[in-house]
A and B are shown apart, each in its own frame.
Chain A
Amino acid sequence: MKPALFEYHRAASVAQAVDLLAEDPGAMILAGGQSLVAAMNFRLAAPSRLIDITRIPDLDRIAVTAEGVAVGAAVRHRTLERHDGAHAVNPLIRAAQAHVAHVPIRNRGTVVGSLCHADAAAEMPLVLLLCDGWVELEGPGGNRRIPAEQFFRMHLTTARASDELATRAVFPALPPDAGWAFAEFARRKGDYAIAAVGAIVQCDAGGRITRARLAACGISSKPVRLGRAEAALAGGTADATAAAEAGRAAATHVDAADDSIATAAYRRHLVAALTERVVAEAAARARRGTE
Chain B
Amino acid sequence: MNARALPRPQIPVNSADPRHAVTLTVNGVEVSREVSPRMLLSDFIRHELGLTGTHVGCEHGVCGACTVLIDGVSARSCLTLAVQADGAELRTVEALADGDAGLSVLQQAFAESHALQCGYCTPGFLMALTEHFESGDPLDLSDEGIREMIAGNLCRCTGYANIVVAVRRAAELSGRS
Residues of A within 8 A of B (CB): 1-8, 10, 30, 33-34, 37-38, 40-42, 50, 52, 54, 78, 101-105, 107-108, 188-190
Contact = CB atoms under 8 A, between A and B. Distances in A.
B160 to A, nearest CB: 12
Give the 8 A-B residue pairs with the shortest CB-CB distance, closest first. A102-B152, A8-B37, A104-B74, A38-B60, A107-B73, A3-B38, A37-B79, A108-B75
A50 B79 contact: no
Given A7-B18, A107-B74, A37 B128 contact: no
Given A105-B76, A190-B151, A2 B17 contact: no
Contacts of B37: 6-8, 50
Interface of B: 16-18, 20, 36-38, 40, 43, 59-61, 64, 67, 70, 73-76, 78-81, 83-84, 128, 131-132, 148-149, 151-152
A189 B83 CA distance: 31
B38 A2 contact: yes
B61 A105 contact: yes
27 contacts: A2-B38, A3-B38, A4-B38, A5-B36, A7-B18, A30-B81, A30-B84, A33-B81, A34-B61, A37-B61, A37-B79, A37-B80, A37-B81, A38-B60, A41-B40, A41-B59, A42-B60, A50-B81, A101-B152, A102-B64, A102-B151, A103-B128, A104-B75, A104-B131, A105-B76, A107-B73, A189-B151
Given A52-B83, A101-B152, 9 more contacts: A2-B38, A8-B83, A10-B83, A33-B81, A37-B80, A52-B84, A54-B84, A104-B74, A189-B151
